Amino acid sequence: MPSNLVDVLARQGIATAFPIQAATLPDALSGRDVLGRGRTGSGKTIAFALPLVAALMADGRRTRRSYPRALVLLPTRELATQVHATLAPLAEAAGLRATTVFGGVSQQRQVRALESGVDILVACPGRLEDLMRQKHVRLDDVLVSVLDEADHMADLGFLPGVRRILDATPRDGQRLLFSATLDNGVDVLVRRYLDSPVTHSVDDDASTEPDIDHHVFTTTAADKPAVVRELASGQGRSVLFMRTKHSARKLARDLTQAGIPAVDLHGNLAQNARDRNLAAFRDGTVRVLVATDIAARGIHVDDVNLVVHVDPPEEHKAYTHRSGRTARAGASGVVVTLQTPAQKSDVAQLVRRAGISPTHVSVRPGAPELMSLTGPWAERVEPSAATVSASAPARGPRGGSRGAGRSGSGSSQGKGRGRSGGGQRGGSSSGSGSRNASPHSGSSSAPARRQSAAEFSAGRRGR
């Protein structure tokens, strides 16, 4: 490995390779096509970022305007932003330039960056095809092509565009494909575009199983809102999943009005709002993210303690991807699925197909099982007449009514439990503000003064 790249990792506290990295790096660095199979959070970004940058350093050619020399394809804007954040310091150390291309924002900045000369292009298929049709970018000089989260691109219907894009790259270029599964046409990509690929899979290695406690809580429809508030009140970061954009927006607003500042993430948000909300969640300004399935693979945030399926997903793959937001980078985590009595049959089939054996318990607000996940509550904040609108920005601390933290994680869960090694952390995007709570810098572990909803709405920070 080039020493300047090793130095970048060392400054980030990264000294030991994850299994997917240890498996794939020797072949990828030697120029072989690689098929890497590993779940989200297994360290795939560094596994392809290092050989990509090293290959461009070894090539030494000058990059032409509008002709990038490396391409990384991803399914979502959030992933593109996060992969770029991990790649950027490596590229800078090598004297290379990297940029992102995705929809939902003006293309003018992207066009200017391409025309000034970009070595590494991190892109989503839709916007990249638009720019290719407009002749703003050409892929004739691409030495290394990377497909990350290929199975998710298949789920979203992107494979026809991916094929057109890869057809525009040189046939003799190196291809690195990373995917958790090879279904829904991903296997066709492998056969068509990878030349005698070396396959590495870490899914069968028990040491890479995430350390997750899975629970199914049964509650009545009447008690469910209060149960959700108790789960969201813990000290650590929580991701709450909803089925629809409207319900995600409403729950984030309701939690904020109840004194539990939360931000939402769904397809109806403009890109700048999505970036602000994710930045607020990452930097600890808010500890609760309410999301639709857009975030199941769209965000990589370390130190998420709890994932709650407020609305159970419709199929087992979505359960796996949602649950993968916790227990990342060697940490442990808890996953809770809420069900009403009418949903028992569907949830039982869901967890069976997901291959996990959760603990089952019926709960009401204040149940010991809830306390074991969130810790003892701090004094409850009563909302005042001043409410926090989901459409108007409000500023506040990280969580005026939070408890003292999780005191336990319940029982183990059979097949769904394991442990991954680690200590690595990916990059994060920067930004400020949010839709429901404008972010301020701060640590998620720092104590926050209890604060009324009126103060939160008025923009006063706790000390």
DSSP assignment of 232-299 equals HTSSSEEEEE-SSHHHHHHHHHHHHHTT--EEEE-TTS-HHHHHHHHHHHHTTS--EEEE-GGGTTT-
Integer-rounded Cα Rg, in Å, for the chain is: 22
Report in angstroms the alpha-carbon separations of 275 from 280, 439, 443: 9, 11, 18
Q: Are 50 and 94 in contact (CB under 8 A)?
A: no
| CA-based end-to-end distance of the chain | 46
Angle at Cα 460 formed by Cα 235 and Cα 405, nearest 5°? 5
Residues 240 and 251: their CA atoms lie apart, in Å, by: 9
Q: Are 277 and 289 in contact (CB under 8 A)?
A: yes
Proportion of the chain in helix, strand, coil states, percent, rounded to 5: 35, 15, 45
Closest CA to 402 of 261, 267, 218: 261
- Tokens representing 307 are 């994932």
Q: Are 359 and 411 in contact (CB under 8 A)?
A: yes
> What is the layout of strands, in order, in the sheet containing 262-265?
262-265, 288-291, 237-241, 304-309, 332-339, 211-218, 359-362
Residues 160 and 126: their CA atoms lie apart, in Å, by: 10
pLDDT value of position 110: 96
Residue type present at position 222: A
Mean pLDDT, 10 residues at a time, the chain of 463 residues = 92 90 94 86 87 94 94 91 93 96 91 95 96 97 95 86 96 93 83 93 54 92 95 90 93 94 88 86 91 74 89 88 77 90 94 90 91 55 32 35 34 36 39 36 33 32 30
Which domains, from first to last, does the chain contain? Answer: 3-206 (3.40.50.300), 209-458 (3.40.50.300)
pLDDT value of position 294: 74
Residues 398 and 25: their CA atoms lie apart, in Å, by: 39
pLDDT value of position 392: 34
pLDDT value of position 383: 33
Q: Which helix (H) or strand (E) holds 144?
A: strand 144-147
pLDDT value of position 239: 94
